[in-house]
Amino acid sequence: MLIIKNKSEVLYLQLDNILYIQADGNYSNIYLADGGVINTLTYQRAEIARMMDEQLPKRKREQFALLGRSYLINTRYVLRIQPSKQLLTFCINRFGTCKKTSIKASAKALDSLIAEIEKRKKGTLVDSFRTL
């Protein structure tokens, strides 16, 4: 659980319900997997990332990745990354069906995201068989 406090409220967010966080100037919008949006949170994306670093164990933090300067995404929902189309598609599994939603990002940011996800996959069971 991520706890975000500001002057007027305290948010208790389940990590698996956070789809992505989008920077919007001095504010951030949190897009939820259940379709909800928490608008105009008075924290920048970097401040929310810092809160995650402080509050969450490494394995939970690693489920999130930066995408360019504007996004902090939950990699558990990533379905497709298309740098040539500048498109990232999420799949939100609801009752056995995949509800897709997409965001735009630069090809460079998407290439960096692919590299980051691939780097994190190292050390998996499949990789251990490669060393045999």
Tens digit of pLDDT for each residue in 49-78? 888 999 999 888 889 999 998 999 999 999
Domain ranges across the chain: 2-130
Task: Write the CB contacts of 68 (distance below 8 Å, at least 6 apart in sequence).
Answer: 105, 106, 108, 109, 112
Fold for 2-130, please state it: OB fold (Dihydrolipoamide Acetyltransferase, E2P) (2.40.50)
Q: Which residues of the chain have pLDDT under 50?
A: 127-132
Q: Return d(Cα 116, Cα 100) in angstroms, integer.
A: 22
119, exposed or middle or buried, with CB in 10 Å at 0-12, 13-18, 19+?
exposed
pLDDT value at residue 37: 92
64 C-beta neighbours (distance < 10 Å), count? 22
Note the residue count of the chain: 132
